[in-house]
Structure 1
């Protein structure tokens, strides 16, 4: 079996874990399905003699020894958890690509075809998706020191189960000081490949993207408080229906994008909790999580301020209390120019077109780029859709990406980004462009 066919066989085998009828997967963080994919990861590593270790937030590492214990480390990977009824490519492709790319690099080192200075470590980051436990990008952010370990372990899902309990339940709660977990100060670089989740590459018919920056993101935690009452016996003028207020809030998140240049801002309400959620009760409480993203943080700030004004107005008009607080604010991150140029050189050597691209979505590499020079690569997404069951990327594009990641890892392991500063610096912003 060829290397490419071996990768495809493994990818489609993992895609069967938690598979849905419509071709997606449902394996949220620290569920039995997530455990099965992690078990698969461990078996892959063990079959190649790679030790595995789990840290205190459930990140799973496979240690690929290339130069001995004294060597520094190049990390590579992504995540195996999914959104509820999500796609089979998001995250999992990056982990499978990293496992196979690391295997190829090790084979070339052992065959004397290349020389390297650093070891490789492949990682499955815990709870990147944030579907079950908020916030997202949890495991890599704890690893990078951006989130507190104890606070994240105490985070509860909607059923009241904590991260600590869930990880213990699937056997993947590790030790914060476990031997073999690569120390942050031992990192030489990080590399991640991912589906684009947009349609720029597909529209331009370019098979690879070198990510140079990420959008500014912030969420709003919103609570709407009314009064519980009978749906039949309560007069309309006496009702304080929190769900009605929530409907107005959701529509404002849609409207706010029209106040700025087309394409400059995206927004959504991604989670709704309704109480008491009975068919014969006017709802007394609704909890929402809103999301604002733009390349320019000033647009997000202006959108947020307008929304806060609207929330006050909704509360007054509907006789409700609308509380909103800022949460999970993530500034623009800029990937090192040297890493982007490295990606372009590898693509040129492979004879594969590549273009520079931004990521509107968050990724584990965004967190890692705060502690080590990081390289982020994209392959095309058909129709630009993601976080849904019809998410799709062709076998051909996936294979191209594995070859690209292999070439990048070879150079990173040889020290291509040693001494490079991180994170990358922001280009100067123009003062126009905001309506």
Structure 2
């Protein structure tokens, strides 16, 4: 029986019960019991719909349909893990949309309306979010050879549990998983996590580039002392120094035209974090992103100057360690053209957009031909329980992804 739009919405609602929060979102950080529950749900879905499941060494979960033994694979998918107290759609929509697209393409093959040239696999990438285990995009980074497997498995969360330990007892591998050398194409669909599409009333975003980004781990080192008795002139308050840096990072955006620079500080750790002790150390993440590499370079220079000023003012020592950086990275033009043609065929409105957020496709696009699609996000809200994509937009995305996947599997991009 062919899967309907109504079944997609029902399956999405059922999947969203896994790790559900009182505020209407989900909380299923990588390899937590909630994430394992979601993976188990997806495992059952794959089995019911004729896919063979396999899980690789870093926890990437594949649902495979081998049509032509020995031929390469077309992968389609996203991720099921989430941020803390996050929305239901980020990542998870793309996994289920990919599964439905793959199933519908297989129906076309059964009906002999599509002649396959490649095998088909749906993938749930492990730890895309990076909230429990850093870095983000972990599963796809290992898969593409950008991160050593041993390093990823040894990564610890904030209570000392390793990835290897957290993955233990989860989904069990059944047979060999696809490897990078066996992949011919990759496709992913995702909610926009911004409001360009909604503001313009456009159905689909064709992702053609990423914003440039520079990320840092910042440690502010002061001296622990008594919050009451220590004289103000004697204090070396790391939390005060951190607050100055936080303000400086935010105010960097005011030096440029609106929309040219996004900045944030996140994941704050304070030591000793006692109510009667001046902080001796604060560790935090600083994130700068821009659609203009020159703007980003200027912001990085300005940040260095302002950090020095904050250091002097707070009488602390500030250590800045670069963690990630990338320029304006293009998605393959052939993939954008394929998606544009498919959207036209279906009568969907579309526009080319940049992605500000990172996705597993940003790893895959560097090594295999990749197509990345967006559907609208209501009010641009994401990483929030209020995250929402309307049913009509979600279903239009599944239709387009099915068309794109069918063209990739048939080897006919026109």
TM-score by length of 1: 0.92
Asked if 1:52 is matched to 2:48, the reply is no
For the Cα contact (< 8 Å) 1:164–1:173, is it kept in 2? no
Q: Tell me whether 1:306 sits opposite 2:302 in the alignment.
A: yes
Measured in 2, the distance between the counterparts of 1:417 and 1:348 equals 13
Q: C-alpha displacement at 1:301, in angstroms?
A: 2.1
The answer to whether the aligner puts 1:368 opposite 2:368 as a matched pair is no
1:16-75 superposed Cα distances (whole Å, 9 cap, x missing partner): 111111111111011000001100111111112311111111111111223x22221101
Contact 2:264/2:287, CA 8 A, preserved across alignment: yes
Q: Equivalent residue for 2:231?
A: 235
**C-alpha displacement at 1:331, in angstroms?**
2.8
> Per the alignment, in what secondary structure is the counterpart of residue 184 of structure 2?
strand
1:141 maps to 141
> Are 2:3 and 2:100, in contact at CA under 8 Å, matched by a contact in 1?
no
With 85-94 and 258-267 compared, the bigger mean Cα shift is at: 258-267
Task: Describe the SS at the equivalent of 1:334.
Answer: coil
Shift of 1:191: 0.2
Aligned pair partner of 1:332 in 328, 349, 355? 328
- In the other structure, the counterpart of 1:192 is 188
Q: Spell out the pairing of 1:19-418 with structure 2 (5 A cutoff).
A: 19-66=20-67, 68-168=68-168, 170-172=169-171, 179-416=175-412
Which ranges of structure 2 fall in alignment gaps of 5 or more residues?
Answer: none
Deviation readout 1:96-139 (Å, 9 max, x if unpaired)? 00011111111110121211100111000011111111111111
Deviates more, 1:135-144 or 1:304-313: 304-313
Matches of 1:104 and 1:279, distance apart in 2: 58
Matched-pair contact (CA < 8 Å) for 1:64–1:102: no
CA distance in 2, matches of 1:202, 1:389: 19
In structure 2, the CA distance between the partners of 1:173 and 1:317, relative to structure 1 (3 Å rule), is farther
Structure 2 CA distance for partners of 1:22 and 1:340, relative to 1, 3 Å: same
RMSD: 1.5
Query: How big is each residue's C-alpha offset from its partner over 1:231-267, in whole Å with a ceiling of 9 and x where there is no partner?
Result: 1121111111100000001011101111122211101
Q: 1:130 touches 1:137 (CA, 8 Å); kept in 2?
A: yes
Aligned to 2:342, the other structure's residue is in SS state: helix
CA distance in 2, matches of 1:225, 1:332: 34
* Corresponding residue SS for 2:59: coil
Q: Distance in 2 between matches of 1:79 and 1:284?
A: 38
Instruction: Compute the TM-score of the two structures, normalised by the length of structure 2.
Output: 0.97
| Equivalent pair of 1:210/1:357 in contact (CA under 8 Å) | yes
CA contact (8 A) 2:54 2:172 kept: no
Greater shift after overlay, 46-55 or 402-411?
46-55
Q: Deviations over 1:181-204 (max 9, x none)?
A: 212122111000000000010011
d(CA) in 2 for partners of 1:31 and 1:208? Answer: 33
Distance 2:270 2:412 in 1: 52
Unaligned runs of 5+ residues in structure 1 are 419-435
Alpha-carbon distance, 1:162 to partner: 1.5
Residue correspondences, number: 413
C-alpha distance in structure 2 between counterparts of 1:255 and 1:356, whole Å: 30
Poorly superposed stretches of 4+, deviation over 4 Å: none
Q: Cα offset for 1:310?
A: 1.5
